[in-house]
A and B are shown apart, each in its own frame.
Chain A
Amino acid sequence: MISNEKVITADKLTKKFGPFVAVDQISFEVNKGEIFGFLGANGAGKTTAMRMLCGLSLPTSGTATVAGFDVYKENELIKRNIGYMSQKFSLYEDLTIRENIRFYAGIYGLSDQRIKEKTNLLLKQLSLEGKEKTLVRELPLGWKQKLAFSIAIVHDPAIVFLDEPTGGVDPITRREFWSLIYEASEKGITIFVTTHYMDEAEYCNRVSIMVDGRIDALDSPANLMKNFSADSMDGVFLQLARKAVRNE
């Protein structure tokens, strides 16, 4: 459910590495419960922008708050109040399903009682009851990704950042993954997601497209397609990304 409460506010947020402007004065807001797609070609500045919003990298200039906390002064509080998952880093392969849940929930400071409740709830939601002692390594990729997402929101964060969560996953599991995203959003968790699958961009409430460090478009997929006279987000993306002059 989308409300008017702002979970992210960014105003002229900028990151420079020497003379190179990786992120160039981006300004946008994301509402509570919104599914926000963060698109851009390789090298457009998405990762750098995401690292600032996650409290992992200090901006050069501009302002931003995430979950109500300032990215300059309260980055430790940001880390505690967000979830993060990427395809590259998610779970510990040589720990069991239960151990991974216990580990992450423990890191986020959940009580033993709460961890127990959450573990049972999560196993039930993912139909993994009876498999809690399975090593994560032995799970098919799609299951791993679904489990990783559920664990990324085990501490009920205000917002979860998903960095290409569905790469290489089969088309049915990819859609099951998006069902989990919708459910989380219904519960009021804000979703901030990057993807190379343009059909997934169309599942987002709003989408921003970065080109050469700037946000060159930000709107609902329907409006973007209308404004760019394209019949899919693929068409919108190609028109914008082709303008890029920066060589990755």
Chain B
Amino acid sequence: MQAVVVENIVKKYVVKKNTVDALKGVSFSVDKGEIFGIIGPDGAGKTSLFRILTTLLIAESGKATVDGFDVVKDYKQIRNRVGYMPGKFSLYQDLSVQENLEFFAAIFNTSINENYALIKDIYQQIEPFKTRRAGQLSGGMKQKLALSCALIHKPTVLFLDEPTTGVDAVSRKEFWEMLHRLKTEGITILVSTPYMDEAGLCDRVALIQKGGILSINTPKGVTKEFKKPLWAVRASEMFHLMNAIKNDNAVESCYPFGQYHHVVFKNPGDDKKRLEEIIQTNHFSQTEIHSIEPNIEDCFMALMKE
């Protein structure tokens, strides 16, 4: 049985007489024990999707099940089974770390001791501050407490809405290590993120933009869908280099990526020669051209333009 099945979900909001399509008929399914990433920028529809799957919001049309239960009819069963960590910190700011955890354990008719093994790795890092009010914690500690509270009833499916937004690269890496440990406990994890580099840490990903799914695949599968050759180019004058490449009619796209620009041609053929010509005509120095494998962000941008 699949942990999550989403079929043609549509969600609209009416904002001052204007209708906004938050989700335009989204479908996908998640296997048990899978880490499934929903990757997309702000406004893509990630939070609406999570709220529908956690029974906090009702879709206009479409169907979805979590752990075999219908998100509308069987909302009570779903609420007992899933863990949800919203993007915005939603614990009780004026309760202490321990009080928050005890509260959530009590609500789910369990105790901290019963499932301590599951949260031990995470909770131990904040245990020295267990008498501190949640509102007084730093961002990283709040995140660990929220995850502990979402896990305290040993959920079958865990929904994490942008858990790493605004978090530095080191803490992000640690957070993903925690998720991989939870996966070994058999928990299915749906996680959303605006950071494209985190896609590679998921078993499968759905790339989402403006309420529609651009692609669903394994991270490797997504990059294999990128059909045209991709070139990395650099020179000492990167900004001028980009303008020169963009002004060439044969070029389909040119985007900066760290120290290189990534270039795709409309009709691939003598790509390298053409790039060399651009460099020669403009007298760029310290240049380098080589072909590269696309990453998720290359694919996302190419799909956005389609």
A residues in contact (CB < 8 Å) with B:
40-43, 140-142, 164, 167-173, 175, 178-179, 182, 186, 196-199, 202-203, 221-222, 232-234, 237-238, 241-242, 244, 247-248
Contact = CB atoms under 8 A, between A and B. Distances in A.
Interface stretch (B27-35, B98-106, B149-157, B250-258): B250-258
Given A42-B139, A186-B239, A202-B259, A170 B304 contact: yes
A208 to B, nearest CB: 15
B167 A196 contact: yes
Nearest to B297: A171
A41 B140 CA distance: 10
Given A167-B166, A234-B169, A248-B138, 15 more contacts: A41-B170, A42-B140, A42-B171, A43-B138, A170-B304, A171-B196, A172-B304, A182-B239, A199-B258, A202-B259, A221-B259, A233-B258, A234-B197, A238-B173, A248-B139
Given A42-B171, A248-B139, A164 B166 contact: yes
Contacts of A171: 41, 196, 255, 297, 300-301, 304
Contacts of B304: 170-172
Interface of B: 40-44, 138-141, 165-173, 194-197, 209, 238-239, 242, 255-259, 297, 300-301, 304-305
Contacts of B42: 141, 168-169
B256 A178 contact: yes
A-B pairs with the 4 shortest C-beta distances? A170-B41, A248-B138, A202-B258, A168-B42
A76 B259 CA distance: 38
16 contacts: A42-B139, A42-B171, A43-B140, A140-B43, A167-B165, A168-B194, A170-B304, A171-B255, A172-B304, A196-B172, A202-B258, A202-B259, A232-B258, A238-B170, A238-B173, A248-B138
A170 B255 contact: no
Contacts of B138: 42-43, 247-248
B259 A222 contact: yes
B41 A168 contact: yes
Contacts of B168: 40-42, 196, 241
Contact of B170 (A140, A167, A241): A241
Contacts of B238: 203
A237 B259 contact: no
B263 to A, nearest CB: 13
